[in-house]
Amino acid sequence: MVKRSLAAVLAASVALCGCVQTRQFADVQFTPPQGNYKLLVLRPDVTVGSLTTGGMVEPRADWTDQARKSIVDALRAQQSARGGNVTIIERRNQLPGVTAEELAEVERLNYVVDQSIVLHKYLGDYLPTKRGKGLDWTLGQSAVNLGQKTGYDYALFLHAEDQVASGGRIALGVIGLAGCFIGFCAPNVGGSSQLDYASLVDLKTGEVVWFNVVQAGSQVPGIKFGDLRTPEGATQMVERLLGRMKPGRAVREQQAREKR
């Protein structure tokens, strides 16, 4: 259940409003992967649930399976369009030459590093020692070893969760809206919401080179800003999350100089 907590913290950090927000950070030297690169996607963590009338999230196995398939398809299409060679693994024992324990170690390490990134980049607990350094985190030798053993250039960690407002939740919002006419106005009980984040690790250096968070949600049940269950919704999410990877600051400055 540890995974949930990071998501909860992130959800709380992004301002609650009816909109779509993204915020990405990159290593100063980061250049978005282009051309012939090998990308390893480790166990995409996808959950789709129904938001009950009372505000609990009921996980839905069928929606989750549907969404995972749509996301994986969209991810493959997007990366191969950029020239990337993508492998997506679903279980820790599916990577040849690497034991499930080794992979678990990398995943767990990445998880705590992601937590640290969220704390110091998104939650306002900024570190003076990392000021102006872009994204300055690394998984160290364990990620380099993984790259050497498998021959991949990058590893991508992806988390996506979607909560779809149930009929009851929408009805609750409607009652709240109706109340506006007699002086008790509460249409904003909270509706569908989506939270996605991803981190890209360079397996040659072990560094986390890029991190992005997408939050899409609405306070009014019944209004949606994307639905992971549909292929369109999944493509939209993958595009929002990974579509516009910005190069790092040093690279951008270099590009600007070359233009001049």
Eight-state DSSP code of residue 87:
E
Closest CB 91 distance from another protein, rounded Å: 7
Q: Is 1 in the site for another protein (CB under 8 A)?
A: yes
Residue 161 token pair: 């969760």
> Contact region for another protein (CB under 8 A) — 20-28, 123-131, 147-155, 179-187?
179-187
Q: Single out the residue of 35, 54, 96, 97 in contact with another protein (rule: CB under 8 A).
A: 54
Q: Single out the residue of 25, 42, 47, 220 in contact with another protein (rule: CB under 8 A).
A: 47
* 254 Cβ neighbours under 8 A, 6+ residues apart: none
Residue pair 209/251 in contact by the 8 Å Cβ criterion:
no
What is the dihedral sign for C-alpha 84, 21, 8, 72? negative
Closest CB 120 distance from another protein, rounded Å: 25
User: What ranges make up the beta strands (E) of 52-153?
Assistant: 57-59, 85-89, 137-138
Q: Is 229 in the site for another protein (CB under 8 A)?
A: no
Closest CB 54 distance from another protein, rounded Å: 3
Q: Is 55 in the site for another protein (CB under 8 A)?
A: yes
Nearest to 49 by CA among 189, 193, 174: 193
Q: How far is 170 from 186, CA to CA, in rounded Å?
A: 12
Interface with another protein (CB under 8 A): 1-3, 45, 47, 49, 52-56, 58-62, 64-65, 91-92, 100-101, 104, 168, 172, 175-176, 178-179, 182-184, 186, 189
